[in-house]
Structure 1
Amino acid sequence: MAISLYPATVTMPKVDKPYPSVLSFLAERFPKIERSCWERRIAEGKVLGEDGSPITALSQYAPQKRIFYFREVQEERIIPFCEQILFQNEELLVSCKPHFLPVTPGGPYVDECLLHRLRKATGNDELVPIHRIDRETAGIVLFSANRKTRVLYSELFRTGRIEKTYQAISRATGDPGNGVWFIENRMVAGEPWFRMKTTAGPFNARSCIKLVDQKQGKSRFTLNPLTGKTHQLRVHMSGIGFGILNDRYYPDLQAERADDFESPLQLLAKSVIFQDPVSGKTMQFESGRELLW
């Protein structure tokens, strides 16, 4: 069994009818984890309250309070690809993530995530990702290495003061028009919960997409996301008729199956450029990875 060295956090929300206990909340909040599993974790002292004290089977539900627990999976799948550290100083770490590796723990992944690998490699438990990219996507991910300056780097993403460039390969070779798209729409959670969809309403997702080349039944693009919604580029590429090669979610959800390491999603977070909020210097980083072109 793989057990995380670092606690995960869940906040108990305000609800009209409070749960009878913390145990009942956890059992409903995580339906894929059996109640008996939570009972065992609680009995073993692996679930903690906000003050660090152990939760018991009788602990009352407390809205807006946090719960800390340690993720565990019976058999963790090994991702047979390596990350790279492109840059590191006292404030920032820049890594290039391989396809299939999640940035943080989740679902069947505990130790096999970029965060835990980098903490182990550097010995710095203060590393925290400043942003995320999908598990299926490869490329650049920035980590804060110092909690005192973390908010300064987070603001780069919140205020759009960082330029991100992606590359993508599509299986389609339809009519590209002038080969440039500026897309803005509203994205919300769809069905199932892990897919996104577009809907009417104020825009919250913006992307610029450019066709670079077409050959042998494939098309190559550069993409600049101006916002950071989950699956944004995958949805926007699908929306213009150029679904990304090996995308199992868009435009159509495919049957669940084991990862095919020979057929990674052809989406790469290729580069970032920004002004460092601490040093004032212009920082630019580029992945050395290439897509299947």
Structure 2
Amino acid sequence: MNQGWVYSDRITPAEAGLSVLDFYSNRYRHSSRAVWRDRILSGQIRQNGTPLAPDYCLEAGAKLDYHRPPWEEPEAPLGFEVLYEDGDLMAIAKPSGLPVLPGGGFLTHTLLHQLRLRYPENPPIPVHRLGRGTSGVMVLGRSPLARTVLSRQLRESTATAQDPQSARPICKTYRALIGASDLPAEFTLTTPIGKIDHPALGYVYAASPAGLPSYSEGLVIQRNADSTLVEITIRTGRPHQIRIHLAAAGFPLVGDPLYGVGGLPLPIKPSATGRVPVPGDMGYHLHAYRLTLPHPRTQKPLAILCPAPTILQSSIR
């Protein structure tokens, strides 16, 4: 059991006038209205330390705290290998199954918490994320300089992605497994990615004409009778970009429980427990294989490679 957690929300002008029950059941649809009512009645939702009633009318600017009691978290691999380390930055091999940040039932079984345990005096800070089911290279900032420089370079890479001549200070390349495909040996994917409504989750990121520009460049590494091994270099860093782009092209990742052809969420098929697929679910094969960047202090080129799992290695020699 963990120690529980306090989740805070600030009421926006558009939400003013809603009841406490309406606010939580509308915004956080992962739980039913009945479950939220029980939480409110048990005193878990408070304003300035005072428990609120389900029908309490909210005002703009009010701060609400949801005091979630301790809970048993899902299992996750908590270890990670350090691939590179100096005083400014660290690169690790994140295992598939380990979330980077709290969410979806995970609090202490996260990379962020494990970093705080391993480096209590000055924990490295992730400067980008990998999905829970994605393995491979992650870069962490150890000094203020590195965190500032790396974050700026990532933003600049995304902002200038549509210009093929623009500088690419940070280059991230992944391996992924899709089904049998007729993709050309080299291909580019540019489907915009944005938030779309989801009946159970409120929203998810998916292919959307109104979304933000997104750019991925791909190579076919190996074709098999029932699968294709591809290498994808992303020029932007949209959420779930590779999963969405390949699905939008007609080739979802093998085993992806969320995204189907078209880059949209699959129709909901609740499990026996009533649970629906969420972005953090696993089953697909995606690995951050190589990351190159200039060192934030010396500007010398730095290339970090994390060997791919067997299923994402080419058998062609």
Tell me the TM-score normalised to structure 1 length: 0.78
The reply to whether residue 13 of structure 1 matches residue 12 of structure 2 is yes
Distance 1:145 1:60 in 2: 45
Shift in Å, 1:255: 3.5
Alignment gaps of 5+ in structure 2: 158-168, 261-265, 313-317
Residue number in structure 2 paired with 1:50: none
Residue number in structure 1 paired with 2:102: 105
Residue number in structure 2 paired with 1:241: 250
Distance 1:222 1:69 in 2: 42
Change (3 A) 1:181 1:10: farther
Assess if the C-alpha contact under 8 Å between 1:273 and 1:282 holds in 2. Answer: yes
Secondary structure of the residue aligned to 2:303 is: strand
Change (3 A) 1:101 1:198: same
Give the partner amino acid of 2:113. Answer: H
The reply to whether residue 37 of structure 1 matches residue 11 of structure 2 is no
Change (3 A) 1:239 1:202: closer
The reply to whether residue 287 of structure 1 matches residue 287 of structure 2 is no
Residue number in structure 1 paired with 2:89: 92
Change (3 A) 1:204 1:94: same
The reply to whether residue 132 of structure 1 matches residue 129 of structure 2 is yes
Deviations 1:26-61 (A, max 9, x none): 675445263553664467xxx8xxxxxx63337996
Deviates more, 1:81-90 or 1:241-250: 81-90
The reply to whether residue 270 of structure 1 matches residue 277 of structure 2 is no
Residue number in structure 1 paired with 2:160: none
Assess if the C-alpha contact under 8 Å between 2:78 and 2:109 holds in 1. Answer: no
Change (3 A) 1:26 1:255: closer
Deviations 1:166-189 (A, max 9, x none): 00111x22322x322112132122
Secondary structure of the residue aligned to 1:34 is: helix
Count of equivalent residues: 277
Deviates more, 1:178-187 or 1:198-207: 198-207
Shift in Å, 1:10: 4.2
Deviations 1:121-148 (A, max 9, x none): 2224653321112111111222223346
Residue number in structure 2 paired with 1:77: 74
Give the partner amino acid of 1:56. Answer: T
Deviates more, 1:184-193 or 1:161-170: 184-193
Secondary structure of the residue aligned to 2:112 is: helix
Secondary structure of the residue aligned to 1:141 is: strand
Assess if the C-alpha contact under 8 Å between 2:89 and 2:146 holds in 1. Answer: no
Distance 2:133 2:268 in 1: 14
Q: Residue 49 of structure 2 is aligned with which of 42, 48, 55? A: 55
Change (3 A) 1:289 1:185: closer
Q: Which structure 2 residues correspond to residues 106-185 of structure 1 after superposition, within 5 A? A: 106-124=103-121, 126-147=123-144, 149-160=146-157, 161-170=169-178, 172-176=179-183, 178-185=184-191
Deviates more, 1:73-82 or 1:244-253: 73-82
Secondary structure of the residue aligned to 2:243 is: helix
Give the partner amino acid of 1:279. Answer: T
The reply to whether residue 186 of structure 1 matches residue 203 of structure 2 is no
Assess if the C-alpha contact under 8 Å between 1:129 and 1:143 holds in 2. Answer: yes
Assess if the C-alpha contact under 8 Å between 1:268 and 1:291 holds in 2. Answer: no
Distance 2:300 2:8 in 1: 35
